[in-house]
Amino acid sequence: MSEGLASPVGLVTQSPLAFALILVGLYWGVKILRTPDASRPPRASYWIPWLGSALEMGKDPDGFFSNMTKLHGPVFTVKALGQEMVYVTSPSLISTVYRDSQNFDFTSIRVEMGYKVFQLREHISSAPYMVDTYMGQLHNLLLPSNIHPIVEAYTASAHDSLLSMISSMDGASGALKTFIIPSAYRAACHAGFGRDFPAEKSYPFFKAFDDDFHLIGAGLPKFLLSKPLKAWDELVDVIENYVKEQDEKREDLNQFLAAGLDGYRRGEWTSRDTATVLACQLWALQANAIFTAYWLLAILLQQPEGLDPIVAELDAARRQWQAAHPSKPLGPAFFETVATSSKSLPLLSSAIQETLRVTTSTFSPRRVVNPVQLGGYQLLPGDRVICVTRLTHLDDDIHPHAREFDMRRYLQTPRATKDGKPVANHSMPFGGGTSMCEGRHFALAELRVFLAILLTYATIDIDEGCMTRPEFALERMGLGVMHPKGDMDVVLRKRRL
């Protein structure tokens, strides 16, 4: 007996593999005997308990979701890392979920992310002050009619840093990221927090947090997240010092900063709470936009036409502006006027939309709060639903030749149909419904400004000696614009205008 495998304790210590196999066997025995409930969404099959489909999904998310949709239809359940979610992949059902915020709740998820991901104190994240007052102020500041001051601040800063970068780098070859990310990040910091914000100092902390954001979002245990959480703490430190300094100022405050400081001054938040709220704001402001600028250039440079058509459009707009304002020097005023009107630079705007179509992987999360039918299945309170918008972006029926990048695709609004029915929501890089990106109008304006300034004052070409190209970091699915994995070297030259 003491030597034998018959004792379960002996089995665990002497042959953990055999023990594990028996457990998996038992698990499957129970699973197979249980008949699935046909009223509930079908489940993606998997072999390994807890882990579920995580590996397959992580390796090739586009292939995984498209296979599952072919197999099960547009509503199905997937288990991954111990969590079960109902995924919704068709534009019509996504639209149903977006419109029905009574049954598909987002507010509770936003509150939960506040304390689980962004380390806000729980009662601060859920307080009416946060949910109604602060979020309401933010919403107002980001309405198209109100973004002018931040676009102006962004333009001044981007103009300044791009011009000095271009003069110091004239003729240099370097990684594309190094020409784009620092200036784009800095300008957005200045727009969102004021000219004195220590952008350079904050960047390494932002980056360390953002690089591991998908791990925090996946809910891994805290001891595996010490690096990004420490970086987040340091980012909050930088912002807290800045907040205390700025609080002495009574006028001429940046509006977003003022909205954050309001909570502090009213005694709703400590300086730490205020800085944490502003750090969330910083993350939302930066995490997607800087990489959209990067991808637009990285992708266009690899197209046969390169950047030429975009530059031609820009040069024509500049000449027209200069003819109309003969006494004004070329400067921020030009970039603000052309770049804030969505009608100017139509090709650049289309190329930005196309970049977002191709590079975003956006999941909109919801929690079911009442029993509700979706796509013929019964959903129950507590079910978690994820709208997978990327599959719509890659659908050949909706976007002809969806795998190809076509900078002219959005010159006309795509008239998309699927199964004979018009598809209103053919492009959802910003998510939709109650969780739709509040910053989208500013994001589109800042991208037009950034690219217009860069391509007016500089040329960028792929360094012929460079063989590497950036790829999508697919493991970051669901978080918006995918990060580039790897990079490419480019040569930057100052244009003689």
Binding site for ligand HEM (CB under 6 A): 110, 142, 284-285, 288-289, 292, 356, 360, 362, 364, 429-432, 435-439, 442-443, 480-481
Name, in order, each residue with C-beta under 8 angstroms of 398's C-beta and a sequence gap of 6 or more: 91, 392, 414, 416, 417, 418, 423, 426
Q: Name the binding residues for heme.
A: 437
Which residues in the 407-446 window bind ligand NAG by CB under 6 A? 424-425, 428, 432, 436
**Can you state the angle between helices 332-340 and 308-324, rounded to 10 degrees?**
110
Which residue number, 90 or 254, has a Cβ lying nearer to ligand NAG? 90
284 binds, among ligand NAG, ligand HEM, none (CB under 5 to 8 A by kind): ligand HEM
Interacting span for ligand NAG (CB under 6 A) from 61-69, 76-84, 149-157, 172-180: 61-69
Cβ at position 161, least distance to ligand HEM in Å:
17
Using rule CB under 6 A, residue 64 touches ligand NAG: yes
Nearest to 272 by CA among 300, 309, 235, 298: 235
Q: Give me Rg for the CA atoms of the chain.
A: 25
Which amino acid, residue 447? L
Smallest separation (angstroms) from ligand NAG to the CB of 66: 7
Q: Does 56 bind ligand NAG (CB under 6 A)?
A: yes
Sheet holding 489-494, edge to edge: 173-175, 489-494, 458-462
* Closer residue to ligand HEM (CB): 437 or 452: 437
95 binds, among ligand NAG, ligand HEM, none (CB under 5 to 8 A by kind): ligand NAG
309: three-class secondary structure by DSSP: helix
| Residue 133 makes contact with ligand NAG by CB under 6 A | no
Residues 195/157, Cβ–Cβ less than 8 Å: yes
Instruction: Name, in order, each residue with C-beta under 8 angstroms of 228's C-beta and a sequence gap of 6 or more.
Output: 208, 209, 211, 212, 213, 215, 216
Tell me if 101 contacts ligand NAG by CB under 6 A. no
Q: In the bound complex, what is the minimum distance in angstroms from residue 335's beta carbon to ligand HEM? A: 17
* Cβ–Cβ < 8 Å for 345, 314: yes
- Binding-site annotation, residues for substrate: 116, 288, 384
Q: Least distance from C-beta 227 to ligand HEM, angstroms? A: 24
Nearer to ligand NAG, 64 or 410 (CB): 64
Say if residues 431 and 276 touch (Cβ distance below 8 Å). Answer: no
Nearer to ligand NAG by C-beta: 99 or 244?
Answer: 99
Which residue blocks in 143-175 are alpha helix, DSSP H? Answer: 148-169
Q: To the nearest whole angstrom, how small is the minimum distance from the Cβ of residue 162 to ligand HEM?
A: 18
Q: Hey, which residues does 415 pair with through a beta bridge?
A: none
Interface with ligand NAG (CB under 6 A): 56, 60, 63-64, 67, 95, 424-425, 428, 432, 436
